[in-house]
Amino acid sequence: MTATHAGRFGVFGGRYVPETLMSNMIALEAAFDDARRDAAFQAEVATTLAHFVGRPTPLYHAQRLSAAWGGQVYLKREDLTHTGAHKINNAVGQALLAKRMGKRRIVAETGAGQHGVATAAACARLGLECIVYMGALDCERQRPNVERMRLLGATVHPCEGGSRNLKIAINEAIRDWIANPDSTHYLIGSVVGPHPYPLMVREFQRVIGDEARQQFTRVAPRPDAVIACVGGGSNAMGLFAGFIEDAAVELHGVEAGGSGDATAATLNHGRPGVLHGALSYLLQDAEGQILNTHSVAAGLDYPGVGPEHSFLKDSGRARYHVVGDQEALAAFKELCALEGILPAIESSHALAFARRILADRQGLRVIVNLSGRGDKDLPGLLAKGLV
Ligand SMILES: *Cc1c(COP(=O)(O)O)cnc(C)c1O
């Protein structure tokens, strides 16, 4: 295993990968550096975001919710993007970069299937071969997303072994990339993994924060606080990126507390350690074994977190909170009833924290990232009798 000093956020991040992957990482870093400075590439990304993804997404003033909660709540409507969540921003960006690098084949892993669907859509749009690794148990639980990916032209590989979930799918995707380094790009879905992924994914997601900052100027120079849920941390980093330079804007990340004994609140309950190529906070036991996580929100159910969030936590620039299943579900129902918007259960964690902060500090103006739409969650929530 090799660590370099590239891509650190304070002590966090880095590049803890097998020697066999090192040249891939260096080539990807160089390609991304080059593409960021290329006006033609930036224009291609912008055009695709406008016409395929449906950007800019609205910054919506939730007036009835604001009246009920005692402040001003603005929702950044990533739920209105093509495929229904912010993940498409990154999928499109990386797929365009892969194509620019001359790669014809994309591998990805997916847990609940949202990242797989976004990646399959981006690959279909660009005529790239798409292989999605997914735990066999997750395939059974997320049948509609498996069918969506197939219709979008992807090959879905159900992964047996381990707990038949996201962990084994990540292992299989990495194994594939090691075996096919020249033809293949590994399209990671959040601000996790070795350098340059955390930086690159943040840059592909910063369109959320850049738009929101610009859109908010119609209301006031700045919001008091911005709030986003944190799984791996990509929708939060995308939103934060637009406001991080402005010290007057509070940054709040919201982790999933789950219910009962298991949690997915990595920054609140974890300790630093290395997982999937980067040093970051990690849910682990005393021996360093990764703990099982739980949340009603599959997209937040990950034992690690992006290294930049670890840095922002320790530096105090951002604060991280825990919202459990029940509180998130209550916010989910309130948004449905008061605004006619069905949010993703992941995003509902951020909403629930907005409610909490407004109860303490009436009149605050906050932007909540509505990272996705909730239609995907309904069958599961109904089956469990939660809604
Ligand atoms: C995947 C997902 C998340 C969590 O991922 P981040 O990388 O933390 O943003 C949040 N909301 C929705 C709707 C998702 O699909």
Q: What is the pLDDT of residue 165?
A: 87
The pLDDT value given to residue 315: 98
In the structure encoding, which two tokens stand for residue 16, read together? 């803890």
Instruction: Give the separation between CA 78 and CA 126, rounded to whole angstroms.
Output: 22
**Order of strands across the sheet with 250-258?**
59-61, 72-77, 365-370, 225-229, 250-258, 318-324
What residues does each domain of the chain span? Answer: 8-48+87-201, 54-85+206-383
Which residue has the CA at smallest separation from atom 14 of ligand 1? 299
Cα 234 to middle of ligand 1, angstroms: 7
Q: Which of 151-167 are b and which e, b meaning 16 or more Cβ less than 10 Å from the residue's Cβ?
A: ebebebbbbeeeebbbb
Q: For residue 301, what pLDDT is reported? A: 87
Q: Which amino acid is at 336?
A: C
CA-wise closest residue to 357 among 365, 345, 347:
365
**Is the separation of the CB atoms in 350 and 369 below 8 Å?**
yes
Q: Give the separation between CA 72 and CA 61, rounded to whole angstroms.
A: 8
Beta-carbon contacts of 286 under 8 Å, excluding residues fewer than 6 positions away, are: none
Structural tokens at position 164: 């038949």
Q: Whole-model pTM?
A: 0.97
pLDDT at 2: 45
Q: What fold characterizes domain 8-48+87-201? A: Rossmann fold (3.40.50)
Q: Do domains 8-48+87-201 and 54-85+206-383 have the same CATH topology?
A: yes
Within 6 A (CB) of ligand 1 lie 85, 87, 114, 190, 229-236, 299-300, 344, 346-347, 371-372
- 360 C-alpha to center of ligand 1: Å? 27
Nearest to 113, CA basis, from 160, 78, 81, 158: 158
Tens of pLDDT along the chain (387 residues) come to 444 457 999 999 999 999 989 999 999 999 999 999 999 999 999 999 999 999 999 999 999 999 999 999 999 999 999 999 999 999 999 999 999 999 999 999 999 899 999 999 999 999 999 999 999 999 998 899 999 999 999 999 999 988 888 889 999 999 999 999 999 999 999 999 999 999 999 999 999 999 999 999 999 999 999 999 999 999 999 999 999 999 999 999 999 999 977 889 999 999 999 999 999 999 999 999 999 888 899 889 889 999 999 999 999 999 999 999 999 999 999 999 999 999 999 999 999 999 999 999 999 999 999 999 999 999 999 999 999
Q: Quick check: is 87 catalytic?
A: yes
Does the annotation count 334 as an active-site position?
A: no
- Residue 301 phi, psi (nearest 5): -90, 75
Q: What is the pLDDT at residue 1?
A: 43
Q: Which structure tokens are listed for 78?
A: 């990533």
Give dist(CA 308, CA 198) in Å, integer: 7
pLDDT for the residue 162: 86
Q: Which residue is closest in CA terms to ligand 1's atom 5?
A: 231
Looking at domain 54-85+206-383, which of 3.40.50.11900, 3.40.50.2000, 3.40.190.10, 3.40.50.1100 is its CATH number?
Answer: 3.40.50.1100
Pocket test for ligand 1, best of 79, 346, 370 (most atoms within 8 A of CB): 346
Determine the residue of 229, 252, 370 to mutate for testing ligand 1's pocket, defined as the one with the most ligand atoms within 8 A of the Cβ atom: 229
CA of 19 to the centre of ligand 1 (A): 30
Nearest CA to 155 among 167, 143, 146, 144? 146
Active site residue 333: no
- Structure confidence by residue, pLDDT tens digits, 84-105: 999 999 999 999 999 999 999 9
Rounded-to-integer distance, Cα 241 and Cα 237, Å? 6
Residue 4's pLDDT is: 47
The amino acid sitting at 3 is: A
Taking CA atoms only, the protein residue closest to ligand 1 atom 3 is 299
Give the single-character DSSP code of 80: G
The neighbour count for residue 286, using CB atoms within 10 Å, is 6
